[in-house]
Amino acid sequence: MISPSKSYFKHTVYGLRLLFRIYDREDKAIRLPSLKRDAPLPVVLSMKECRQLFKSGKMLKHRILLCLIYSAGLRQKEVRNLQQRDVDFDRMQIHIRKTKYRKERYVPLSPLMAKGLKKYYKAYHPKNYVFNGKDMTSPLSARGVQWAMKEALKTSGIQKDACVHTLRHSYATHLLEFGMDIDTVKSLLGHAHLTTTMVYLHVARISKTDRFSPFDRLYEGLQG
């Protein structure tokens, strides 16, 4: 017997649900199976593509902006709300305050990123926020961040369907590929649940170790 396709199953459920509601049979409509949305895997840039992208920004401000998003795994809103007081050059960390789940966190400040930020500060003299908008008292707009990413992608020649959030996806995936444990990655990303972070295990190219029994390692190195 051939199983129906997802599309056939979905339209059957939708049709029955509508029919039951027309005839005031809400109890039957509720008992129908729920339909989960397809969850596509995130788009991730390779390290080579990241380097291409970061050198493609037309302005120093835009290059530093994109580098900072990737280097700290920031959400778009987080980088826009980032204030200069949140970047601690002495302790080499960044304080993320206004987060999606209102849960503050610290992420490491890359030494290379710190050097780039100081160069940017010297050239642009931003006020309060790390990245100002047209008005020096307000943060860079969401459209401004998106425009910087769009223009850099266009210049870089990268063909992937990438967006600003792709940099965060790439950050998480690359950390896993470098051997960082998933619980630490979850903490750095500020995820509320580990299941959210686990999606990156499906795209990370993690080398597999040879299979072995833990019993073999139990007595490894012991004499006699």
Q: What are phi and psi of 206, to 5 degrees?
A: -95, 125
pLDDT higher than threshold 70 for residue 211: no
Instruction: Quick: pLDDT tens for 138-148.
Output: 999 999 999 99
83 within 8 A of 98, measured Cβ to Cβ: no
CATH topology for the 47-202 domain: hpI Integrase; Chain A (1.10.443)
Quote the pLDDT of residue 74.
96
Mean pLDDT of 159-170: 96
Instruction: Quick: pLDDT tens for 83-133.
Output: 999 999 999 999 999 777 778 999 999 999 999 999 999 999 999 999 999
Q: What are phi and psi of 139, to 5 degrees?
A: -75, 165
Task: Let me know if 105 is a catalytic residue.
Answer: no
Quote the pLDDT of residue 2.
57
Quote the pLDDT of residue 208.
61
Amino acid sitting at position 29: A
Task: Let me know if 95 is a catalytic residue.
Answer: no
Could you say which of 17, 98, 105, 191 is catalytic? Answer: 191
Share of the chain above pLDDT 70, in %: 81
Could you say which of 85, 100, 127, 205 is catalytic? Answer: 100
pLDDT higher than threshold 90 for residue 11: no
Task: Let me know if 168 is a catalytic residue.
Answer: yes
Mean pLDDT of 160-170: 96
Task: Let me know if 100 is a catalytic residue.
Answer: yes
Quote the pLDDT of residue 185.
93
Could you say which of 75, 80, 169, 186 is catalytic? Answer: 75
* Distances in whole angstroms, Cα of residue 102 to Cα of each of 188, 191, 195: 14, 11, 19
Mean pLDDT of 74-83: 96
Task: Let me know if 165 is a catalytic residue.
Answer: yes
For residue 108, the cross-strand partners are 93
Could you say which of 25, 95, 150, 165 is catalytic? Answer: 165
Task: Let me know if 211 is a catalytic residue.
Answer: no
Average pLDDT, the chain: 86
Quote the pLDDT of residue 24.
75
Quote the pLDDT of residue 69.
97
Could you say which of 63, 168, 174, 186 is catalytic? Answer: 168
